[in-house]
Amino acid sequence: MTEGLTEDAALVAGLKAVPGVLEVVRAATGMRFAAVARVTADRWLACAVEDGIGLGIEAGGELPVETTICREVRQAVVPVVISDARSDAVYCSHPTPSMYGFRSYVSTPIVLPGGSFFGVLCALDPEPRDLSAPWLLRMFKLHAELVAFQIDAHRRLAAGAADLATSRRDLATSQADLATSRADFAMSQADLATAQADLSTSAASLTDERDSSALREQFIAVLGHDLRNPLASIDAGAKLLAKENLSERGRGILDLVGKSVGRMAGLIDDVLDFARGRLGGGIAVNKADRVPLAPMLRQVVDELATGHPDRRIEVELDGIGDCRCDPARIGQLLSNLVANALTHGASDAPVTVRGVMIDGIVELSVGNAGRPISPEAMANLFQPFVRASSRPSQQGLGLGLYIASEIARAHGGTLTATLRS
């Protein structure tokens, strides 16, 4: 704000017409002090001054605006004319005339062509002056308009010069930009040629990927077919032999064969799930609405408990209601977790199975006691072919936890492991 007022004062001081205006005002009125002042709501700044009474105000000098009548001129935007302050009905008791020692006073607003208030053209004298002639006020108004138009013209001229300088800079910048654009265009043409070559390469890669995807699907299908068929033949042959009149030793061998067939079927299932997860875009699930999950989960636990009669499994699943899921895959997930807990947990401590439903979200947890899992093993626990420990009785490929994790992910969930204190 201060910088702007200083610039305005310098502008008015530089106008060639202003000294002549002040001389005419003094000569026409007989008043010995005349000035052009910049006036705002809180500032009064002298721009040009003709002081014949030694008032002590020079160009660039300031007065407290609240002590001036110019503030009232600014508020009402109308002239104030006082021939003799001592006898004036309005200003006889006003503090300003006695404060600055004048009796006659004229102040006319300077309003710029755009309608904004700039300041005042004013004159005063310690002696009374007859200012009642109408032509005096008209003369003041005309000279105020002259000053206003000159201020506006110089502002426009300065703005035009600044715009011209900006335009020249913009032109130089545009020329530089044009040169840069030409260079960029040449580079873009080279990039286009490279992109076309890359597109050809990408199209060939896409064709290869489609062929590879089809090959993966064929691999998974052939893997399941070629592994299951001979195993099914072995199982069927063993069942036929079981109907024959065999010795005790023969039935024991058939029992071992049956268990081996079952274990091999589980390994094949794990390998196929692993192949689908890694090669086929994830384990597929077939979700159904309103699945009564708790009974199916209890059945899974009961089957595992039958195969481990010497182990205790504690089950709490009453908090699980109906939900949307693939019941077979959720059963497989729980079976893998419980089987893992039975394999790696302490034999003299129970395996715990807990289930709750919170805001429609099912949370399953399986816990066991035993030697803590090492941090290294914990970090990779749900990766394929990873085991938390190595025990002589352990069998399988190390895919159970990985498959359980993939089933959880296919349902929009996660599988995590924590150490219990």
Is this prediction's pTM over 0.75?
Answer: no
Sign of CA dihedral 70, 121, 83, 102: positive
Collapse the DSSP code of 260 into the 3-class scheme (helix H, G, I; strand E, B; otherwise coil) and give the result: helix
Q: What are the CB-based long-range contacts (under 8 Å, 24+) for 188-191?
A: none
Dig out the tokens for 51 from the structure.
């002081």
Rounded CA separation 51/64 (Å):
19
Return the pLDDT at 392.
43
Return the pLDDT at 72.
93
* 18 band by pLDDT with thresholds 50, 70 and 90: very high
- Give the mean pLDDT of 341-369: 91
Return the pLDDT at 152.
93
Domains and CATH numbers, the chain: 1-132 (3.30.450.40), 283-411 (3.30.565.10)
- Give the mean pLDDT of 288-300: 89
Return the pLDDT at 374.
83
Name the residue type at position 389: S
Dig out the tokens for 397 from the structure.
């490929």
* 387 band by pLDDT with thresholds 50, 70 and 90: low
Return the pLDDT at 393.
44
pLDDT tens figures, 244-287:
888 888 878 877 777 677 667 666 766 666 666 655 567 878 88
- Give the mean pLDDT of 49-65: 93
pLDDT tens figures, 398-412:
788 888 898 999 898
pLDDT at 221 over 80: no
Please state the separation of Cα 57 from the chain's center in Å: 58
pLDDT at 289 over 60: yes
pLDDT at 390 over 80: no
Residue in the structure block whose two tokens are 């001389």? 23
Residue in the structure block whose two tokens are 């996660």? 414
Q: Are 187 and 180 in contact (CB under 8 A)?
A: no
Percent of the chain at pLDDT exceeding 90: 44
Helix/strand number for the chain, H first, E second: 10, 11
Residue in 103, 105, 61, 98 with CA at minimum distance from that of residue 84: 103
pLDDT tens figures, 164-220:
888 788 888 878 888 887 888 888 788 888 878 888 887 777 777 676 655 555 565
Return the pLDDT at 167.
77
- Give the mean pLDDT of 46-50: 95
- Give the mean pLDDT of 286-295: 89
Return the pLDDT at 274.
64
Q: Which of 40-54, 240-254, 403-417 has the lowest mean pLDDT?
A: 240-254
Return the pLDDT at 228.
65
Collapse the DSSP code of 186 into the 3-class scheme (helix H, G, I; strand E, B; otherwise coil) and give the result: helix
Q: Output the average pLDDT for the chain.
A: 85
How big is the chain, counted in residues?
Answer: 421
Higher-pLDDT residue of 282, 351: 351
* 370 band by pLDDT with thresholds 50, 70 and 90: confident
- Give the mean pLDDT of 82-95: 94
Rounded CA separation 224/284 (Å):
15
Rounded CA separation 169/332 (Å):
74
pLDDT at 74 over 70: yes
